[in-house]
Structure 1
Amino acid sequence: MSHAYLPSEEVVRLSDAALEAGLADPVVRTLLFDGIMPKYRGTLPLLAAPGLQVRSDLNAMNRVERLVDGSVPLEVWLRNAVAQTVAADPLAVFQRALDEVARNAAGEPDVPAGPAEGETKEEVVHHDDTVPFEFLQGGALAGLSVARIKVSPYQAGAPLQPNGYPHSGTGWLIAPGLLVTNHHVVNARTRSATELTAVAPDDLRLQARGSRSRFDYGADGTETEEVTASELVAWDEGLDYAILRLSDQLARPALRVATVPLTVDREEPVAVNIIQHPGGLPKRVALRNNLVYETDGDDVRYFTDTRGGSSGSPVFTDDWKVVALHRGTRRVEDVSFQGKTTAFVNVGTQISSVLRHLEHTSPEAHAEITAAQTALAAPAERSRTEVA
């Protein structure tokens, strides 16, 4: 008996979706067959017309139950297609077909035997929230570049007296040796009921140079070495950022940053994760209940949890690229999340706004950061070129 994972009409939908998503390009075909045995790929007929080639490939793979290495070529092709597709409509077609092929390849019955009445095969509930396993490795690597920072207040060139206690925040490496945090963290003043005391520029520089940044401060509470700063490179009170040059050039990577503003579509939720030192305590990561509420040109507003001391934290998308600099919370009305009304959403400054401001006000710092980010992007670009 011949085997087919999908009915012929579904194969037609898949080939149409591939054309819509631009996957019929002969160059992309190599990416779609990544992970499928080369010996099997060599048996597939080669056609001149890209659309016919996709249809031919899909029809052939649909009739192959599995290869000698145990893999299901159609399942592998569909996983690659999902990874290569951005547009929502073709992505939905590929994902639906992948779910069906994966279930059938695993031999799952439509209604499992057993007492659980109404139980059926697995489904994605509302939205697929799974991430690649490498997401965990990426987060661990990103965390190496996040530090707790403590800043002691100065006034008129001398430590503030009385109550000159250090203020805690979070900072991270935007380039080798350059740590970014909030301006209000370096400002090191407690807000009164009506305003935040502004610090004179000379005192602000003194506070930056007296700051102490502790990397690798994890859950075990180990008191790792602190790093001081040599200068305050750039800052802006409105965008609430400050960039400090650390005294030591640390052997740890800078974080990749987004150069364009994050935008969101209510139909396609975006999650953001925050690595932080809340309350000056050991490092924590917020990656549950973490959807973006809304964005504009300068701000990203999100439901991801933070606390005092999280100011200055990097706000990441799931590829561990920083899209915003967390700075605080904002009161809102008529906003609900997970079926409950919330009075607050958290807010961060778009990193693209920080970069744009630096380009005009601190061109040397902007050039240094741009060079570092270009160097970070180069290995990934080389990898994509080698695959293609």
Structure 2
Amino acid sequence: MTAYLSPEEIQKVRDAALETGLADPMVRPLLFDGIMPRYRGTLPLLPAPVRQVHSDLNEMNRVERLVDGSVPLEIWLRNAVAQTTEAAPLAVFQHALDDVARNAGGEPDVMAGVPAPEIKEEIVHRDDTVPIGFLRGGDLAATAVARIKVPPYETGAPLQPNGFPHSGTGWLIAPDLLVTNHHVVNARAGTGAGRPLAEPADLSLQAQHTLARFDYDTDDVETEEATVSALVATDAELDYAILRLATAPSKPVLKLSRNSLAVAKGDYVAVNIIQHPGGQPKRVALRNNLVYETDERDVRYFTDTRGGSSGSPVFTDDWKVVALHRGTRRVENVSFHGSSTAFVNVGTQMDTVMRHLAANSPAVHAEIEAAQRD
């Protein structure tokens, strides 16, 4: 595979580790927390701390993922972020983590100011309160969201030597239909033109061997994984895939917004995302979640996501799904809460997905429409 980070980026991470004291041999176990011990034991041990950090980073940079589906460099960087408080090195670690997480998840590169807030006497800027039913609705919606793992296949057989599962998020759009991203089911690392596409037969096999884990809210409780019987619809450009589960789980179907989300200049519209970042237990993004802009195809927002969040439902405050989260877009001259940002997150409008299904997979579209009416 191609390395996750360039040599220059690895050097920046190494220098940031030196600056913050993370090159101290006593800190090394903290940085490797969560990485498989068997893999850790294969890494060379060197007497000089600087060389040790550089060696560790280079070794992990060459490993796409381990047998448990985890990405060691991503875990190391996540631990480095947790151990760092200084702004400059923290930014280096976070930037590298975002790049690795997106690349590991196979998120496509979708490259292509927020107005001054209204001031009211009774509240700060604007009323951000919501009815208490908002929490109950979110709790119910979360039960329809699953962590999914997709094993890569090549020419009809499990991909070797790096045939370890790719993680993503999926959700119920009909009683036994789960929707996620095409790039999640594609199960190949890389972004943009550098991301290989699985052959149709292998894509189908990958779908059939996908496992969906509902109710994965904590590592403390084991929950069963649902199996998939078929890939029933997909489109790489809109980046969606619909999987049929072998057995319909006793879960509610998420309701779709009937219209595309349109945000006029000056509007404050929030979108909330329930997700399984990094294949970890379920999390919900409720804060710092304003929409940046929309068009007929996309919704772009400041709501936080991470690698593994691909395929998550993007909700409006009534817990209707308005978009399918798929990745990140680079932007320039954009600020949020007074700070500049180089990225906004992006999802495909579900209204656009449904229109594509109606034209290309009418039976699947009819099934979803029937489920949405129930």
Alignment match, 2:328: 329
Counterpart contact for 1:221–1:282, Cα < 8 Å: no
Following superposition of structure 1 onto structure 2, how do residues 260-275 of structure 1 map, counting pairs within 5 Å? 260-275=259-274
Q: Which has the higher contact order (CA 8 A, sep 6+)?
A: 2
Amino acid aligned to 1:245: R
- Counterpart secondary structure, 1:290: coil
Give the deviation of 1:195 after TM superposition: 1.4
1:162-186 Cα shifts (integer Å, max 9, x gaps) = 1111000000000100000000000
Q: 1 CA distance for matches of 2:218 and 2:224? A: 15
Alignment match, 1:54: none
Give the deviation of 1:250 after TM superposition: 1.0
Query: Per the alignment, do residues 267 and 193 of structure 1 end up closer, same or farther by CA in structure 2, a change over 3 Å counting?
Result: closer
1:244-280 Cα shifts (integer Å, max 9, x gaps) = 0001111111000013210012322100000000000
Counterpart contact for 1:316–1:323, Cα < 8 Å: yes
- Counterpart secondary structure, 2:257: coil
1:324-349 Cα shifts (integer Å, max 9, x gaps) = 00000010000000001000000000
Taking only the aligned residue pairs, the percentage that are identical comes to: 68
Alignment match, 2:285: 286
Does 2:142 align with 1:153?
no
Amino acid aligned to 1:141: L
Q: 2 CA distance for matches of 1:365 and 1:213? A: 20
Q: Structure 1: state its 5+ residue gaps.
A: 1-91, 97-121, 376-388
Alignment match, 1:52: none
Amino acid aligned to 1:133: I
> Normalising by structure 2, what TM-score?
0.67
- Counterpart secondary structure, 1:329: strand
Q: 2 CA distance for matches of 1:330 and 1:268? A: 21
Q: 2 CA distance for matches of 1:166 and 1:280? A: 10
> Normalising by structure 1, what TM-score?
0.65
Tell me how large the CA RMSD over aligned residues is.
Answer: 1.4
Counterpart contact for 1:298–1:353, Cα < 8 Å: yes
Does 2:155 align with 1:179?
no
- Counterpart secondary structure, 1:367: helix
Q: 1 CA distance for matches of 2:264 and 2:290? A: 11
Alignment match, 2:316: 317
Q: How many residues align?
A: 256
Query: Per the alignment, do residues 354 and 282 of structure 1 end up closer, same or farther by CA in structure 2, a change over 3 Å counting?
Result: same
Q: 2 CA distance for matches of 1:234 and 1:212? A: 17
Runs of 4+ in 1 over 6 A off after TM superposition: none
Following superposition of structure 1 onto structure 2, how do residues 1-388 of structure 1 map, counting pairs within 5 Å? 123-191=122-190, 194-375=193-374
* Structure exhibiting the larger radius of gyration computed from Cα positions: 1
Amino acid aligned to 2:351: S
Amino acid aligned to 2:356: H
Counterpart contact for 1:259–1:355, Cα < 8 Å: no
Give the deviation of 1:220 after TM superposition: 4.4
Give the deviation of 1:192 after TM superposition: 5.8
Give the deviation of 1:221 after TM superposition: 3.8
Q: 1 CA distance for matches of 2:316 and 2:193? A: 34
